[in-house]
């Protein structure tokens, strides 16, 4: 005799069970790996082709699109911390891809401009300059983005991740 709450055959019992949380967590982890590896592969291709890192390429493209932009404007355009934008600008200047001039009454303020060598890098670099993740996110509909934002906020709380980490580009400087 079998209990009415249990199927009589073991293979049916297995078929009626929901996947464990551990199996679901493993599948989600694989999805994160796919995302991060796609981003990493893109940035490696950028560096191989352009000779500079992805964050530098993105900064260079912003400067080209907005000649005379300052560090604060660069930080806002890239949604990164101002110190990070300053470091990116310094690296581009050291690499002779961009120049900085102090203009106006506030002599601390810099105006960034792309040099000829920087324009050449942008011409040969693979796009998208901001990276493939921002591009993919921009193609998603608002309902999907709302779900992602809500659900990732839960994951971020579980990770106890520092809020400032959200202002650091995924591409190495």
At 6-36, the pLDDT tens digits run 455 555 455 555 567 789 999 999 999 999 9
| CB of 146 closer than 8 Å to CB of 59 | no
**Distance linking the first and last C-alpha atoms of the chain:** 68
- State the alpha helices, DSSP H only, in the chain: 10-16, 21-50, 54-65, 71-78, 82-94, 116-124, 132-139, 142-159
Higher pLDDT, 17 or 38: 38
Q: What is the pTM of this model?
A: 0.76
Average pLDDT over residues 162-170: 85
pLDDT surpasses 70 at 148: yes
Q: What is the distance between the alpha carbons of residues 20 and 32, in angstroms, rounded to a whole number? A: 19
Residues forming beta bridges with residue 122, ordered by sequence position: none
Residue-wise pLDDT for 50-102, tens only, equals 999 999 999 999 999 999 999 999 999 999 999 999 999 999 999 999 999 98
Residue 11 pLDDT: 53
H-run or E-run covering 112: strand 110-114
pLDDT surpasses 80 at 172: no
């Amino acid at each position: 005799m079998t209990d009415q709450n249990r199927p009589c055959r073991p293979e049916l019992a297995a078929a009626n069970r929901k996947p464990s949380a551990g199996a679901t967590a493993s599948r989600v982890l694989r999805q994160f790996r796919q995302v991060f590896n796609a981003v990493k592969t893109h940035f490696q291709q950028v560096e191989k082709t352009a000779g500079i890192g992805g964050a530098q390429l993105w900064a260079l493209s912003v400067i080209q699109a907005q000649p005379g932009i300052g560090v604060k404007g660069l930080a806002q355009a890239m949604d990164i911390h101002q110190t990070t934008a300053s470091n990116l600008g310094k690296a581009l200047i050291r690499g002779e891809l961009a120049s900085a001039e102090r203009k106006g009454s506030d002599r601390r303020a810099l105006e960034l401009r792309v040099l000829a060598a920087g324009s050449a890098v942008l011409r040969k670099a693979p796009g998208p300059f901001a990276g493939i993740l921002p591009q993919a996110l921009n193609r998603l509909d608002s309902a999907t983005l709302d779900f992602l934002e809500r659900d990732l906020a839960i994951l971020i709380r579980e990770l106890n991740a520092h809020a400032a980490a959200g202002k650091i580009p995924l591409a190495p400087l």
